Amino acid sequence: MAEEESIKVLFVCFGNICRSPMAEYMFKELVKNNHVANRFEILSKGTSGSELGCGMYQEAQDKLKEKGIPFSEHDVRKFSLVDFAYFDYIIAMDKKNVRDLVEMAPDGFDRKVHLLLDIDEGTKNRDVPDPWYSGDFDETYELLDFALDKWLDKFIKEDM
């Protein structure tokens, strides 16, 4: 019997220094704790190249450490057109990221782009605020934690 193909998930924010890497490492830990890590390939990127050469913002690292979420050395990565073909789900942190991704999407690939908080009726059309500007890493963590649980439930019910 052939091995099942993994679900490829890409989290996207503007700079790939706060929200999307937090989502990447939080989701990696979530799938590991639910014994389905072997079914996923998870990564994060930014729509801007302005932070290339940087790592994850220190306060984002501090929040993950505080919550016991392991992470590795993070190098900022920029989203590219090949990501549309490779990833099954491209999950953006805010509506501007969604607009930017949809604008660059080849025909038919915009269906892969989702707003993170659209996963739940109670948070539909809501952005994960950028803690780089707000300074509120608690809010970012809580919204990610809430939504990522819902995304995993969706994947388990529909894709696995």
The torsion angles phi and psi of 80, rounded to 5 degrees, stand at: -135, 165
**Of 13, 18, 77, 100, which one is the catalytic site residue?**
13
Identify residue 20 by its one-letter amino acid code: S
Whether 19 is a known active-site residue: answer: yes
- The yes-or-no answer on residue 13 being catalytic is yes
> What are the C-alpha distances in Å from 97 to residues 3, 12, 23, 60, 152?
34, 7, 15, 19, 21
Residue 118 falls in the annotated catalytic set = no
| Residue tagged active-site, from 83, 94, 100, 130 | 130
What whole-number distance in Å separates Cα of residue 152 and Cα of residue 136?
Answer: 25
Catalytic pick among 19, 77, 83, 127: 19
The catalytic site residues sit at: 13, 19, 130
